[in-house]
Amino acid sequence: MTDVVVVGAGPAGLAAAEMLAEGGCAVTVLERMPSAARKLLMAGRGGLNITHSEPMEGFLARYGAARPWLEPAIAAFPPEALRAWCAGLGIETFVGSSGRVFPRAMKASPLLRAWLARLSGMGVKLLTRHEFIGWDGAGYVRAATPSGEVSFAPGATVLAMGGASWPRLGADGGWVRLLDGVPIAPLAPANCGFLADWSDVFRTRFAGQPLKRIALSFAGQTRRGEAVITASGIEGGAVYALSAPLRDAIAADGPVTLHIDLRPDLTRAALAARIGMRGAQSIGNVLRKSAGLDAVQAGLVQEALHGGASGDDLAGLIKAIPIRLTAPQGVERAISSAGGVMRAAVDADFMLAARPGVFVAGEMLDWEAPTGGYLLQACLATGRQAGQAALEYVRRLPPGA
């Protein structure tokens, strides 16, 4: 049995460990936090969206420019295989009305407990409070622990230390400084909210309020869904779906304008007919009674009018409220992160060109995807592929190496 070290006990790292242990390796997983998969458990508070049931062509398109890179791994472990894997752990899954796949229990903890028990039964050793700090001159893996530094001499290493979102859960992007000479795209927020310059009145009254059944548009793309007004801007599912083009446009040219359709179920002409002649009615009554807007939606219209938008075409304004976004929220508040180890830095099996025998998986790699199950699917798939490739690598090592 060849020793292999996996760095990171999140989904990608545990997936790699499972593949290696199945192949007969002696696997040690190093985790800097006191327990495994903290971000997975956090995601499980919202129901744990495991994957998505849409047809594979549409599914793969969600990975954008990274699709050619990720497709082999996902094709080898597609959504159906992920659901079967869950079933093997005793976790029943179901497809929700949106096409998203969830565990029947709507929690992450039962799945994680079953998975860790399986890995333990396979001989996988999990060492918590072991922080990877690089390699020594002999190529040994170094880790800092509360009682001092320890080192390992594995036949192969899988790095799965995550991105940089929600650093309090373990992944803080600190690994970037440890990979000298490896091309790394800067870590940036993905599936994130954005900052907007609300008036004090609007911020005080509506921070924390949801915007339901809306459509957001930017740069020719439109996404329906929901959002939430925050004290500093706007976030939520519909915003996350457009976060990549919004983030990149702000980085390139500065503040951008996002348009919100408050009544996507009505055409502009139909809405104008409902509003009709305003007469002596106050703008608030028109927005509430004729346009059918709730308080926060009406507040957005008022905010736009106070900001200089014209009220001559009220229906047109309701169908395209302009929101000036000045910056994305920090990566520490993002659901996931973009950037990471670039495609040019690894081979088809995610092995670093600069360090043979060292493989990379999960959010450490330079890709992003929307919420909806695509993130976890790719983390598990790349983890499994990196683990399988590491297994094949150690099998080729000469005896005693």
- Minimal CA–CA distance to 162: which of 4, 382, 387? 382
Q: Give the CA distances from residue 196 to residues 18, 329, 336, in Å, rounded to whole numbers and listed in that order.
A: 44, 10, 21
Per-residue model confidence (pLDDT) at position 271: 95
- Minimal CA–CA distance to 336: which of 171, 102, 163? 163
Query: 373: which 2 tokens?
Result: 């199950």
Per-residue model confidence (pLDDT) at position 281: 74
Per-residue model confidence (pLDDT) at position 1: 63
Per-residue model confidence (pLDDT) at position 96: 96
Per-residue model confidence (pLDDT) at position 399: 79
Per-residue model confidence (pLDDT) at position 267: 96
Query: 186: which 2 tokens?
Result: 């800067």
Per-residue model confidence (pLDDT) at position 276: 82
Per-residue model confidence (pLDDT) at position 311: 84
H-helix or E-strand spanning residue 142:
strand 141-145
Sequential pLDDT tens for the chain (401 residues): 679 999 999 999 999 999 999 999 999 999 999 999 999 999 888 789 999 999 999 999 999 999 999 999 999 999 999 999 999 999 999 999 999 999 999 999 999 999 999 999 999 999 999 999 999 999 999 999 999 999 999 999 999 999 999 999 999 999 999 999 999 999 999 999 999 999 999 999 999 999 999 999 999 999 999 999 999 999 999 999 999 999 999 999 999 999 999 999 999 999 999 988 666 678 888 999 999 999 999 999 999 999 999 888 999 999 999 999 999 999 999 999 999 999 999 999 999 999 999 999 999 999 999 999 999 999 999 999 999 999 999 999 987 66
Q: Give the CA distances from residue 339 to residues 35, 51, 331, 334, in Å, rounded to whole numbers and listed in that order.
A: 26, 22, 11, 13
Sketch out the chain's domains with CATH numbers. Answer: 3-189+337-395 (3.50.50.60), 194-328 (no CATH)
Per-residue model confidence (pLDDT) at position 48: 94
